[in-house]
A = this chain, B = another copy of it.
Amino acid sequence: MASEAKEARRAGARRRGQADRRAAILAAAARRFAEFGFEATTVRQIADDVQILSGSLYHHFATKEEMLDDIVRDAVLDQHARALRIASADCEAEVRFVTLIAEELSALAERIEAYAIIFNERKFFRRSAEFAYLIKARKDAFEAWRSVLDDGVREGAFHAGIDSYLTISTIMRMLNSGADWYRHEDGSPLDAMANYSLEALTAFYAGFVLRSVRAAGRTDAPIPGALPRR
């Protein structure tokens, strides 16, 4: 076997090992940040969790904030892309609206720690110039949701007197504050909410929201299903 191939394989393994270590550290950090908060978590605690000394963390990360950024970045950017994609789908506003709710809850369930952190540390993010991208992405996603609601009013599906700013703020806060359903891997729920299945929660929220925003007369129409995920 050519020595270049050997060398390449070794380098690959090295990269994988390094990436695994980094991922393990991020997992420990995410868990701590989600449960106790970013500022209340010390780098020593994270290091202890992965059985390493605190100084050694700085071989993988330049600062504690870099860990935070790694944990939340993809979640926020995916959320942004998802909202824009769904908002511009070619179908009735009500279907798009249900899809926004369903996919948001699904993402929240999949990355509950990242979402808990994004929600709980929002004051920190707002103050930090490094995280301006996060605030911007979430604001754009907000506008995408809002445009779907406005489309629905124009189509006559949602009632005309609606305040779209207040309504979307309320709905997004409602969904996002659910990130407190954070559940430990050991199974202990931090909130009784963790006992509900994703399907049950989606049906509940889609119903709760649609009954509120629908035009008079349409209130008892069946709740449409979400668009298929792509």
The interface of chain A, by Cβ under 8 A from chain B, is 35-37, 39-40, 120, 122-124, 127, 163, 165-167, 169-170, 173-174, 177-178, 180, 192-193, 196, 201, 204-205, 207-209, 211-212, 216, 219-220
Is there contact, CB below 8 Å, between A170 and B208?
yes
Is there contact, CB below 8 Å, between B174 and A178?
no
Bound Cα distance from A35 to B36, whole angstroms: 18
Bound Cα distance from A130 to B152, whole angstroms: 49
Beyond A123-B36, A219-B216, A220-B216, whether A174 also contacts B165 by CB under 8 A is no
Is there contact, CB below 8 Å, between B173 and A177?
yes
Contacts of A167 in B (CB 8 A): 208
Contacts of A192 in B (CB 8 A): 165
Contacts of A219 in B (CB 8 A): 211, 216, 219-220
> Nearest Cβ distance between residue A141 and chain B, in whole angstroms?
16
Contacts of A205 in B (CB 8 A): 170
Is there contact, CB below 8 Å, between A208 and B216?
no
Closest chain B residue, CB of each to CB of A207:
B212
> Nearest Cβ distance between residue A132 and chain B, in whole angstroms?
16
Closest chain B residue, CB of each to CB of A122:
B180
Closest chain B residue, CB of each to CB of A176:
B177
When the two chains form the complex, which single residue of B39, B165, B173, B207 contacts A39, counting CB atoms closer than 8 Å? B39
Closest 7 CB pairs of A and B: A219-B219, A173-B177, A211-B212, A208-B212, A212-B212, A174-B174, A177-B177
Contacts of A208 in B (CB 8 A): 167, 170, 212
Further pairs besides A122-B180, A166-B204, A170-B174: 12, Cβ < 8 Å: A39-B39, A39-B40, A40-B124, A120-B120, A120-B123, A166-B196, A166-B201, A167-B208, A173-B177, A174-B177, A207-B212, A212-B212
Closest chain B residue, CB of each to CB of A169:
B193
Bound Cα distance from A207 to B159, whole angstroms: 12
When the two chains form the complex, which single residue of B39, B163, B165, B207 contacts A37, counting CB atoms closer than 8 Å? B39
Contacts of A169 in B (CB 8 A): 193
> Nearest Cβ distance between residue A179 and chain B, in whole angstroms?
11
